[in-house]
Structure 1
């Protein structure tokens, strides 16, 4: 299927690795010009080279912390009027809610809710003027099924979801969509870190902790960044213009419900 977005300009946050990388690669393979972002300049440059070689697309690396005004300014200097915006940010580490300071709570809400809203504020009016815009927010399966220890991550991302639910409806007539992808267990560096933490807490080997995690997934495997990116690219496609305000759960069947 031709997604009809060749030549479109995209910004993909936190895309030097992991799920953001998968989204950037998929959009580039559809012919988009993609601004990728990360804070590690060396890793970002390598990612830009890899994606450019794999897709033949124009890839613009912007080394910046998008949580800061300067970082956001740098992103939009590289792409003043994106057609596509993919919001992505690492969540706070697992921690008992009793241990969270006010500063840590505020930082978590800023990183996983406020930053995405600020970026959308900058992108949405040009999208509406052009009558085309696709905004995808990468949140988490824990928005739908919260886990103790990830309360701050779940709460901030659930707040973003509720905040944007009304916004999505208000811009739909301009062919601007806002959707959410909720990843479960995907084979990324973050998952490895989580499994290492679980192994220590459970006093088992990494391999045993990994096997335990896989056994909890009906698909009996972890997701890949390529299939995650393909879902993101479809939500950004011309054909997905009638899908907005939706939470797309990708978890290999973990969430045990029909609705």
Structure 2
């Protein structure tokens, strides 16, 4: 399917690896100029070369912390205007809620709620004026199914969802959409690190733990970043203008609810 977004300017945050990178790849394949972002210069520049080589697209790497005002300004300055914004940032580490002090709570909110809102504020009026805009926020399956140890992540991302739900309805008339992608377990470094840590803590082999985790998912596997990226690209496409304010859970059926 031609997504009909060739020539559009896309900004994908936290995209040197993992799900952010997968989204950047698919938008580049669709013909967008893509600004990618990360804090590891070596990894980011390698990702930019890889995506550009694979797709022929213009890929602009910006080494910056998206949670800071300076980082956001430098990212947005790389293109004259933004047609597509993919908000993404790493979540807080697993931690018992009793250990989450005030400083950690505030930092979690800045990273996973405040910063995405600030980026939306920066680009949305231009999108409305041009009568095209696509905003996709990568949150987490824990927004619908909270997990112990990820309380701060779940709370901040749910706050972002609630905040932007009303905003989405206020700009829908201008062909500007705001949606949310909720990943479950995907083959990323974060998942691998989590499995290794859990296996060590439980005193079991990581392969056995991986098999157990996959068995618990109705699809019987972890998701691939590529399929996640393709879902993101569709929500950013010209064909998704009637989809807004929605939470798309991509978890292989792990969430047992109806809604």
1:146 deviates by 0.2
Name 2:71's counterpart in structure 1: 71
CA positional deviation for 1:203: 1.6
Specify the alignment match of 2:243 in structure 1.
243
1:167-189 deviation digits (Å, cap 9, x = unpaired):
00000001000000000000000
TM-score (norm 2): 0.99
Identify the residue that residue 183 of structure 1 maps to in structure 2: 183
Counterpart Cα distance in 2 of 1:251 and 1:193? 19
Report how far residue 111 of structure 1 moved.
0.3
The residue aligned with 2:129 is 129
| Matched residues, number | 259
Q: Quick check: 70-79 or 229-238, which moved more?
A: 70-79
Please give the residue correspondences for 1:18-29 in structure 2 after superposition, counting only pairs within 5 Å: 18-29=18-29
Whole-Å separation in 2 of the counterparts to 1:97 and 1:117: 25
Match of 2:148? 148
- Find the counterpart in structure 2 of residue 227 from structure 1: 227
* CA RMSD of superposed structures (Å): 0.7
TM-score of the superposed pair, with normalisation by structure 1? 0.99
User: Corresponding residue for 2:207?
Assistant: 207
CA distance in 2, matches of 1:51, 1:110: 29
Distance 1:232 1:24 in 2: 9
* Runs ≥4 residues deviating over 3 A: none
State the Cα distance separating 1:80 from its structure 2 match: 3.8
d(CA) in 2 for partners of 1:163 and 1:258? Answer: 23
208-217 vs 91-100, greater mean Cα deviation:
208-217
Q: For the residues of structure 2 that align with 1:186 and 1:71, how far apart are their CA atoms?
A: 27
Match of 2:254 in 1: 254
